[in-house]
Amino acid sequence: MDRGNTKQEILEASLDLFSVQGFEATSVAQIATAVGIRKASLYGHFENKQAILDALVKDVLEQYGAHSIFAKAEWENCEDAADQPALTPNAAAQMILGQIRYILHDPHISKARKMLVVEQFRNPELAKLQTRQNYTDVLQYFTGLVKHLIRRGVLTGDDPEIMAAQLCLPISTWINLCDREPDREPEVMALVSRHIQQFFRVYQR
């Protein structure tokens, strides 16, 4: 096995362990055992466990930025936002449901999210990342979306941030439910679809 493949295997094994038992509770020896190498060999690829975590976070953020609608949209840029087609309730539901499926089923994103949940009360840096990934970025995206739809005359309302919170925060709760109870995903997807449809009925101009 060449150095590049071994390094990737270390990252994969580390993410598996961190997502179940957390960063602090996982030892370098456990990671090496999971990969099937000696601890000394692991140090040939990463200086320490923190370096592994840093590489994992960088990798996950890059993937998230490439695939997440929350990272791509620039609603505050009026010129770009004007080029976006007005969303129908059905189109909005399909867009959001597609993002939920990505969040739940992409193995790296799913495991990284679980790692952040485990570590959010132990690691200040991961706590900040958890807030950013699961609250700040999401609310910012939906606030921008709601403002865009109000500008386009699709929705009516005078407090876009509260409207965005009403739309997105229940969805975050349902995603957490799926993490704990994966067999409830069909139920959750149906709830999300109904929730989005009702949101548009309440606020549609």
For 101-129, write each residue's pLDDT tens digit: 998 999 888 999 889 988 889 889 889 98
Start-to-end Cα distance in the chain? 61
Comparing CA positions, the residue from 178, 179, 181, 204 lying closest to residue 92 is 204
At 159-202, the pLDDT tens digits run: 999 999 999 999 999 999 999 999 999 999 999 999 999 999 99
pTM attached to this predicted model: 0.81
Q: What are the helix (H) ranges across 36-133?
A: 39-42, 49-67, 69-72, 78-82, 89-105, 107-119, 124-131
How far is residue 123 CA from its own chain's centroid? 18
Provide the Cα torsion 14, 20, 26, 32; round to 10°: -40
pLDDT confidence of residue 1: 36
| Maximum Cα–Cα distance across the chain | 64
The per-residue pLDDT for range 66-88, each reduced to its tens digit, is 777 766 566 655 444 445 555 67
pLDDT > 60? residue 52: yes
Angle at 199 between CA 195 and CA 204, to 5 degrees: 150
Asked whether 168 and 139 are in contact (CB, 8 A), the reply is yes
Q: Helices then strands (H, E): number in the chain?
A: 12, 0
